[in-house]
Amino acid sequence: MRRVAVFILVPLILLSSTAFLSAQEDDERYFYKLNQALYNIANYYLDTVNQSNITDIAIAGMVSALDPHSAFIPADEVESMNEPLVGNFEGIGVEFAIIRDTLTIQAVIPGGPSESVGIRSGDKIVAVDGETIAGTNLTIPRVHKYLRGTKGTRVTVDVARRGESGYLEFVITRDKIPLNSVDAAYEMADGIHYIKLGRFSATSYREIMSYLFSTGSYPKGIILDLRGNGGGYLVAALQIANEFLNKGELILYTEGRNAPAMREYANGRGRLKNVPVAVLIDENSASASEIVSGALQDWDRGVIIGRRSFGKGLVQRQFDLLDGSQMRLTVARYHTPSGRVIQSPYKEGKAMEYYMAFYKRFENGEYMNRDSIDLPDSLRYSTLRLKRTVYGGGGIMPDIFMPADTSYYSPFYKDVLRKGVITEFINEYTDNERENLSGKYGSLDSFMEKFTVDEQLWENFVSYALSKECTYEPERDSVSRDKLSEFLKGLIIRNLYDMNSYFVFINGNDVEVRKALEVIKSGNLFALSDSQ
């Protein structure tokens, strides 16, 4: 028997070795072919070519023939692409807007370099290191070039300030500036906290936990708003999901052709295991947002409210290339604890079709009616505790479906948002009226209670929009007035106070946030679930 076994085994080894060598030879031929093409272009093409540029184009072309989420990032874009995920940059610590071709300070970062030297909201930086920048067709990249720099370096700015006859000179020492991924966090009701997470960055977990355990009391409920959150770092998603799950509960598992299978389990040290949680998602919630939502849904740990998420269930690995550019290559797909694949269907090299299918969701009525979504039985799964029905095959389906409110959509509404006119108008308005508004209303509570978008302010806004080539027809566009007035007031609050205050105001009329609050207060997360 031993001889037979050896005899059978040897041909298998030879066959596998031959196959390996054949595959290796094929790879070498493809590499040589690509190098040969680049060599011939560099040496024999009619004119001198930018070899770096055509190499970038070649790599980008290869990556575009793969799945829709693999990507090539040129060297000069790597820093700006990674910055929001890293969670910090080095600079002077201000939020700004370019108003009438002048760099205007909207807010200073608390504890940052600019605050420490006395820069204020409303200040206008007119010169940097002796170079006049106001009125020079200023752009955001130029502002970054002037104000950002290595920690410890200094920059001198000349500032125009209301009430001062001349320019004020400030010498600011650059430092690390945090880029917070939590856009807002506040207590909505007794012990129930609202957290708006804009992206999953290296600092997201720390930001959330620092807020929750700085309030002085153990939370009674959490509304985690992931609407519009396109994802980010996988580790941040795992850290956040871990907080809500019991020891040994699976968070996700991955599979890929050459990527080692990975299974991630909760370690049991989470401090939020007994806190009721409602997660808000929409069609723009993707990737890491879907990992957290899927894990909490599968373990019946949190109720998911909103509309079907984007459907990005692929894992990218970052490869650093020789010149500092990067390739983010899809190496695996992930599954939720129940086994669901969240990735929406796609064809390799057909990214446009993939994204067009996403945009057609609106045309198909999905945003208005859950029944418009095709959910075949083959995609049906059960949650792991309560055995509720959930679905895979393209995003996370919420437990409680909330249709999109499009009643206020009009050509004027779409026009002013698409062109950024509403933000430009409010930036100018608060720049001119900051002192008057602060003196008249003082506190946030007073402003929220008493300020209204009156007829004069509305007419000024419409006139401004018309000057920016927007069209307005009162009979057609009047349906948008209340919603646009709400945005106008909210943006003034943001400029006068902060982003947190903006969400406090906007959430007062947000039906999805109110539904989440109702569910948590009810004491039964799944009483209103569509899957019960």
Residue 23: predicted pLDDT: 56
- 435-469: buried (b, 16+ CB within 10 Å) or exposed (e) per residue? eebbeebeebeebbeebebeeebeeebbebbeeee
User: Residues 161, 168: contact at Cβ < 8 Å?
Assistant: yes
Q: Say yes or no: do domains 88-178 and 182-404 share a fold.
A: no
Torsion over CA of 138, 144, 147 and 150, rounded to 10 degrees?
Answer: -160
Q: According to the model, what pLDDT value does residue 258 have? A: 84
- Alpha helix positions (H), 45-112: 51-64, 75-86
Burial of 47 (0-12, 13-18, 19+ CB in 10 A): exposed
Q: Does the pLDDT of residue 17 top 60, yes or no?
A: no
Quote the pLDDT of residue 124: 94
Q: Is the pLDDT of residue 107 over 90?
A: no
| pLDDT tens digits, one per residue of 398-434 | 999 999 999 999 999 999 999 999 999 999 999 999 9
Per-residue CA distances from 442 to 186, 193, 493 (Å): 20, 26, 12
What is the pLDDT, as a whole number, of residue 496? 93
449 Cβ neighbours under 8 A, 6+ residues apart: none
pLDDT score, position 6: 37
| pLDDT tens, position by position, 172-227 | 999 998 888 999 999 999 999 999 999 999 999 999 999 999 988 899 999 999 99
Cβ burial 327-338 (10 Å sphere, 16+ → b, else e): bbbbbbbbbbbb
Taking 50 as the threshold, does the pLDDT of residue 2 lie above it?
A: no
Collapsed DSSP state (helix, strand, coil) of residue 25: helix
Q: What percent of the chain is predicted at pLDDT more than 70?
A: 94
Question: How far is 90 from 449, CA to CA, in rounded Å?
Answer: 38
DSSP letters along 230-250, please? --B-HHHHHHHHHHHS-TT-E
Percent of the chain with pLDDT over 90: 68
Q: pLDDT tens digits, residue range 436-461?
A: 998 999 899 999 999 999 999 999 99
The phi and psi torsions of 168 (rounded to 5 degrees) equal -100, 135
Q: What is the mean pLDDT of the chain?
A: 89
The helix/strand/coil state of 184 is strand
182-404 is classed CATH 3.90.226.10:
yes
Kindly state which CATH superfamily the domain 88-178 is placed in: PDZ domain (2.30.42.10)
In the beta sheet, which residues pair with residue 168? 159
Read off the pLDDT band of 85 (50, 70, 90). confident
What confidence score (pLDDT) does residue 373 get?
80
Pairing of strands 221-225, 192-197: parallel
Assess whether pLDDT exceeds 80 at residue 156. Answer: yes
What's the average model confidence in pLDDT over 135-140?
92
Count of C-beta atoms within a 10 Å radius of residue 426: 22
What pLDDT digit, counting tens, does each position of 355-406 carry? 888 888 888 888 888 888 877 777 899 999 999 999 988 899 999 999 999 9
Of 107-111, 128-132, 471-475, 494-498, give the lowest mean pLDDT range: 107-111
Among 500, 499, 530, 501, which Cα is nearest to 515's? 530
Whole-model pTM: value is 0.87
Please give the pLDDT value at position 531. Answer: 59
CA dihedral sign, ordered 114, 120, 122, 125:
negative
Query: Which of 287-301, 304-318, 335-349, 514-528 ranks highest by mean pLDDT?
Result: 287-301
Cα-flanking dihedrals φ and ψ of residue 39, to 5°?
-65, -45
Quick one: pLDDT at residue 4? 38
Element of type H or E holding 189: strand 182-189
The whole-number pLDDT of residue 370 equals 84
Give 89's strand partners: 177
Say if CB 323 and CB 74 are below 8 A apart.
no
Residue 46 burial class via C-beta count within 10 angstroms: exposed 0-12, middle 13-18, buried 19 and up: exposed
Grade residue 293 by pLDDT with cuts at 50, 70 and 90. very high
3-state DSSP: the chain helix, strand, coil percent, rounded to 5? Answer: 45, 20, 35
| More confident: 241 or 180 | 241
Domain ranges in the chain are: 29-64, 88-178, 182-404, 411-497
* pLDDT the model gives residue 20: 45
Report, as an integer, the average pLDDT of 272-301: 97
> Is residue 1 scored above 50 in pLDDT?
no
Q: How many CA atoms lie within 13 A of 383 on its CB side?
A: 26
Distance of CA 479 to the CA centre of its chain: 30
pLDDT number for residue 24: 63
Q: How far, rounded to the nearest angstrom, does the alpha carbon of residue 312 sit from its chain's CA centroid?
A: 13
Q: Is 400 helix (H, G, I), strand (E, B) or coil?
A: strand
Alpha helices in 270-330 (DSSP H): 288-298
- As to burial, measured by CB atoms within 10 angstroms (0-12 exposed, 13-18 middle, 19+ buried), residue 133 is buried
Residue 495 has what pLDDT? 92
Residue 474, CA distances (Å) to 410, 413, 453, 471 in order: 11, 12, 17, 10
Instruction: Please report the pLDDT score of residue 374 as a whole number.
Output: 77
Contact 254, 261 (CB under 8 A): yes
Read off the pLDDT band of 530 (50, 70, 90): confident
CA–CA separation, 264 and 250 (whole Å): 6
- Per-residue confidence (pLDDT) for residue 513, from 0 to 100: 98
Give yes or no for residue 325 having a pLDDT over 60: yes
